[in-house]
């Protein structure tokens, strides 16, 4: 007697997942003095919750349950307008899948990783906040009204702040936590103002009421709609880490525990992408052309600058953080292109088919980035756990000591470099298709945006590949460059198991994209009104194609099988000729020196120097060289070299802004005169201004 998955209610299963997060959070707090028990229970329940949530969201998308989602009341209403309701529609289920899948893999990983904090930090508190963050993030994507969304959003931000600041005894961690807290709340303020504009137009805080505005001619012609777009772009853009609102991201991700870094990069910043998808495609209606141009431009700039700054890093986790900015940019390139295709007026005809293709490219890259970036951060966490350093200059030779971790990291590196046949290649190929096919959709000069975007995406891909040659080579190959690297050990079983789940996801999403595209049909139906998975597949699902006849085709499964076939050739040659030859083992050629040493290896700084020189106008590099010598400069005893690059946005924008805010704050102290009469005058003037604006 088999189990029919169609009889399983996805909503009930998702509620079970959230219950698991609640129990995991409570158990972590209750048993916080018993670190082994707290670790097992808190992350164990998080693992169960992640598994249930993954199954629930897959069933919701695959069985058509998102076509008519039911509203679920989680708690009775406490005050007017505050309704604790959720709804598993297609968009929420897709992002819920990302939250749950990463939550499952990271919780498995954390069972072993958190042991490194035994005796040093309170693991129960770590588990409690981790479960609360999973719960709040799930509620963000399932919330059905603005009030509940903002409440879940704020809990998500606060738990993330607590986790970023987990090792608060370090000054670097405290600074990063405060920066994240400030930036996050600036974003929340913008989102609140955007929702107030939507409420003013609709008279309702429910998402259904916001969606009804897409048919309101007065709203579509109002300036408030453009103001709402800009507010949401800034608010959600801060969370996503778009340039130039990204400064918190490379500061916070490196200092957080590695399981938290993986969640923040794989899931938390995707909440900004979720918000943009929900608002831009579902609430605001027919987009003006400049919306799409703005999003495409921001995405392109973020992608290029993100990967350039990543190349300059020798902190492994900071390098991965900058790559998150790059990949958010690639996602927004798909979103911006889709908005441009959806625009229609007297002079422009909309192209919903191409809009759906570009949207699929952005959404596919969203889950791809979540998977391979989560995998890379878990690999970096295993390296940090074994060597106790994030500096790649002190690593090397780890492939021999941590072979399974090295393999998993290599899979993530190939995926993020968009090399076939893994998942990063698929979503970037779809992005190329949408950009290249957009050139003929308009006669205006805006058509140049599409080939320029495609060219810069190609540059981004090439630089990303170079960056991960550096990251993998400097970290895992050659000889150890420190005693800690020489004594490194392989990660524990659960840490490897968590990485293995994400490796499997990378392979599946890469080799079988046509299977996964069917899951995206409900999303494009909800957001653009079309389902196009059938038009993107050929040869019984073995080949991925562009939507137009002139578009390209590719088969990642075919590429993989062809590569496996090529590997059989040297194996056959070895069987035929190699068995008859004598094997001789000799030392590696050392250029006539007395043996190879770690001092002869390429460094992370040296590897990136050509890029640093090419883009010196951006990086403004400076270097310091110190020599110690005896008798003569020609007889140097020690040589110290330091190279620095300028982070332009921090030094040219945020530091001057910070100084100006402090200056203005000091001037405003005069208002705090300590006089009751003065304070009453302030209140009177404020009420008077409110009355004037109200009239």
Q: What is the pLDDT of residues 197-255, one digit of tens each?
A: 999 999 889 999 999 998 887 888 888 999 999 999 999 999 999 999 999 999 999 99
Please check whether residues 419 and 482 belong to one and the same domain. yes
CA gap 474, 392 in Å, rounded: 6
Please check the confidence at residue 14 and state whether its pLDDT lies above 90.
Answer: yes
| 316 inside domain | no
Q: Are 283 and 150 in contact (CB under 8 A)?
A: no
The three-class DSSP label of residue 424 is helix
Is the pLDDT reported for residue 263 higher than 90? Answer: yes
Degrees to nearest 5, angle at CA 324 with 320 and 326: 110
Residue 519 CB contacts under 8 Å (≥ 6 apart), including other chains: 58, 61, 62, 94
Among candidate residues 494, 493, 487, 500, the one with its CA nearest the CA of residue 386: 487
Q: What is the mean pLDDT of residues 151-174?
A: 95
DSSP for 33-100, please give it: TSHHHHHHHHHHHHHHHHHHHHHHHHHHHHTTGGGSPPEEEEE---STT--EEEE--HHHHHHHHHHH
Residues 676 and 678: their CA atoms lie apart, in Å, by 5
Q: Is residue 516 part of a domain?
A: yes
Q: What pLDDT is recorded for position 347?
A: 66
User: Does a structural domain hold residue 178?
Assistant: yes
Structural domain count, the chain: 5
Same domain, 510 and 388: yes
Confidence tier at 5 by pLDDT (50, 70, 90):
low
Predicted confidence (pLDDT) at residue 674 exceeds the cutoff of 90: no
Whether residues 88 and 124 share a domain: the answer is yes
Does residue 212 share a domain with residue 89? Answer: no
pLDDT in tens, 355-367: 999 999 999 999 9
pLDDT at 442 over 80: no
Residues 173 and 122 in one domain: no
Please, which residues bridge with residue 278 across strands?
none
**CA gap 326, 245 in Å, rounded:** 13
Which positions ≥6 away from 628 have C-beta within 8 Å? Answer: 636, 637, 638, 639
Q: Which H or E run contains 545? A: strand 543-545
Same domain (yes/no): 673, 621: no
C-alpha dist (Å) from residue 82 to 85, 187, 452:
9, 21, 46
Question: Tell me, what's the pLDDT at 192?
Answer: 96
Say whether both 483 and 396 belong to one domain: yes
Q: Does pLDDT of 550 surpass 80?
A: no
- DSSP letter for 631, please: S
Whether residue 352 sits in one domain with residue 337: yes
Identify whether 290 is part of a domain.
no
Provide mean pLDDT across the span 606-633.
81
Last residue of a domain, one of 517, 548, 572: 572
Cis peptide before 244 (omega within 30 of 0): yes
Residue 605 in domain: no
- pTM of the predicted model, to two decimals? 0.94
**Which value, to the nearest 10 degrees, does the dihedral of the CA atoms of residues 252, 258, 260, 261 take?**
40
With contact defined as beta carbons under 8 Å apart, do 296 and 449 qualify?
A: yes
- 255 lies in the same domain as 402: no
The answer to whether 157 touches 179, Cβ cutoff 8 Å, is no
The pLDDT, as a whole number, for residue 6 is 59
The closest of 300, 294, 288 to 435, measured between CA atoms, is 300
Residue with tokens 């070299």: 641
Among residues 309, 350, 345, the alpha carbon closest in space to that of 326 is found at: 309
Instruction: Using alpha carbons, select from 183, 294, 282 the residue that is nearest to residue 233.
Output: 294
The number of beta carbons lying within 10 Å of the beta carbon of residue 417 is 22
C-alpha 446/C-alpha 449 separation (Å) is 6
Which of 290-294, 345-349, 391-395, 646-650 has the weakest average pLDDT?
345-349
Same domain, 242 and 274: yes
Whole-number pLDDT of residue 146: 94
pLDDT level of residue 695 (50, 70, 90 thresholds): low
Q: How far apart are CA 360 and CA 350, in angstroms?
A: 17
The two tokens of residue 26 are 């409570």
Structure confidence by residue, pLDDT tens digits, 490-508: 999 999 999 999 999 999 9
| 8 A C-beta contact, residue 475 and residue 468 | no
Residue at which a domain ends, from 257, 285, 313: 285
Whether residue 525 contacts residue 64, with contact meaning beta carbons closer than 8 Å, is answered with no
More confident residue, 335 or 541: 335
Specify which residues 485 forms β-bridges with: none
Burial 591-611 (b: 16+ CB within 10 A, else e): eeeeeeebeebebbbebbeeb
- Most distant CA pair in the chain: distance in Å? 102
Print the SS3 string covering 505-541: HHHHHHHCHHHHHHHHHHHHHHHCCCCCCHHHEECCC
Residue 327: CB atoms within 10 Å: 29
Residue 650's nearest CA partner among 248, 280, 375 is 248
Residue 551 binned pLDDT confidence (cut-offs 50, 70, 90): confident
Residue 462 lies in a domain: yes
Dist CA 374 CA 269 (whole Å)? 12
Residue 481 is classified by DSSP as S
- Final residue of a domain: which of 100, 123, 144? 144
Token output for 658: 């910070």
**Residue 304 resides in a domain:** no
Task: Determine the Cα–Cα distance for residues 460 and 437; give it in Å rounded to an integer.
Answer: 20
Which phi and psi angles does 183 have, rounded to 5°?
A: -65, -40
- Domain range for 68 is 1-144
User: Nearest Cα to 275, choosing from 316, 215, 234?
Assistant: 234
Residues 626 and 501 in one domain: no
Q: Are residues 629 and 663 in the same domain?
A: no
> What number of other Cβ atoms are within 10 A of residue 444's Cβ?
11
User: Can you list the alpha helix ranges (DSSP code H) found in 120-222?
Assistant: 123-142, 146-164, 171-202, 207-212, 217-220
* pLDDT over threshold 60, residue 4: no
Position 547 in a domain: yes
């Amino acid at each position: 007697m088999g189990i029919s998955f169609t009889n399983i209610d996805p909503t009930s299963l998702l509620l079970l997942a959230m219950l698991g997060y609640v129990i995991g959070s409570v158990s972590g707090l209750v048993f916080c003095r018993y670190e082994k028990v707290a670790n097992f229970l808190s992350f164990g329940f998080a693992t169960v919750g992640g598994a249930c949530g993954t199954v629930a969201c897959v069933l919701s998308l695959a069985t058509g349950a998102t076509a008519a989602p039911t509203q679920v009341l989680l708690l009775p209403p406490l005050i007017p307008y505050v309704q604790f309701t959720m709804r598993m529609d297609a968009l929420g289920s897709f992002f819920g899948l990302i939250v749950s899948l990463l939550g499952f893999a990271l919780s498995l990983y954390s069972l072993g990783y958190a042991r490194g904090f035994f005796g040093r930090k309170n693991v129960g508190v770590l588990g409690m906040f981790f479960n609360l963050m999973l719960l709040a993030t799930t509620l963000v994507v399932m919330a059905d009204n603005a009030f509940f969304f903002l409440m879940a959003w704020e809990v998500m931000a606060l738990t993330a702040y607590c986790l970023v600041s987990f090792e608060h005894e370090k000054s670097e961690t405290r600074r990063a936590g405060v920066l994240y807290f400030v930036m996050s709340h600036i974003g929340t303020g913008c989102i609140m103002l955007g929702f107030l504009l939507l409420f003013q137009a609709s008279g309702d805080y429910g998402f259904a009421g916001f969606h009804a505005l897409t048919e309101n001619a007065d709203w579509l012609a109002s300036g408030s709609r453009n103001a709402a777009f800009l507010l949401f772009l800034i608010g959600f853009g801060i969370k996503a880490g778009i340039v130039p609102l990204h400064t918190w991201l490379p500061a916070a991700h490196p200092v957080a525990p590695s399981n938290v870094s993986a969640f923040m990069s794989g899931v938390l910043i995707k909440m900004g992408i979720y918000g943009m998808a929900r608002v831009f495609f579902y609430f605001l209606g027919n987009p003006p052309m400049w919306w799409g141009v703005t999003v495409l431009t921001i995405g392109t700039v973020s992608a290029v600058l993100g990967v350039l700054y990543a190349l300059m890093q020798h902190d492994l986790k900071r390098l991965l953080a900058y790559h998150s900015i790059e990949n958010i940019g690639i996602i927004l390139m798909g979103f911006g292109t889709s908005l441009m295709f959806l625009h229609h007026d007297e002079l422009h005809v909309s192209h919903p088919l191409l809009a759906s293709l570009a949207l699929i490219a952005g959404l596919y890259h969203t889950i791809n980035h979540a998977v391979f970036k989560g995998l890379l951060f878990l690999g970096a966490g295993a390296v940090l756990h074994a060597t106790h350093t994030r500096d790649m200059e002190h690593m090397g030779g780890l492939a021999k000591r941590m072979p399974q971790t090295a393999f998993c990291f290599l899979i993530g590196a190939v995926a993020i470099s968009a090399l076939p046949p893994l998942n990063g290649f698929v979503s970037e190929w779809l992005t190329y298709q949408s950009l290249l096919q957009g050139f003929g959709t308009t006669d205006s000069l805006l058509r140049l945006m599409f080939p320029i975007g495609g060219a810069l995406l190609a540059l981004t891909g090439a630089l990303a590949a170079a960056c991960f040659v550096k990251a993998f080579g400097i970290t895992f190959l050659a000889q150890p460059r420190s005693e800690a690297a020489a004594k490194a050990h392989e990660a524990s079983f659960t840490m490897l198991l968590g990485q293995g789940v994400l490796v499997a996801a990378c392979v599946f999403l890469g080799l079988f994209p046509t299977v996964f595209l069917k899951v995206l049909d409900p999303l494009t139906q909800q957001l653009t009104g079309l389902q196009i998975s059938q038009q993107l597949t050929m040869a019984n699902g073995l080949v991925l194609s562009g939507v137009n006849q002139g578009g390209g085709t590719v088969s990642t499964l075919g590429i993989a099988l062809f590569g496996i076939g090529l590997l059989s050739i040297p194996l056959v040659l070895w069987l035929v000729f190699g068995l008859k030859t004598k094997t001789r083992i000799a030392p590696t050629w050392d250029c006539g020196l007395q043996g190879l040493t770690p001092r002869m290896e390429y460094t992370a700084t040296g590897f990136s120097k050509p890029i640093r020189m090419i883009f010196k106008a951006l990086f403004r590099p400076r270097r310091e060289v110190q020599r110690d010598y005896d008798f003569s400069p020609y007889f140097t005893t020690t040589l110290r070299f330091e190279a620095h690059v300028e982070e332009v946005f921090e030094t040219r924008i945020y530091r001057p802004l910070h100084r100006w805010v402090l200056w203005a704050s000091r001037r405003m102290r005069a208002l705090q005169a300590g006089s009751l009469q003065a304070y009453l005058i302030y209140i009177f003037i404020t009420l008077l201004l409110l009355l004037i604006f109200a009239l």
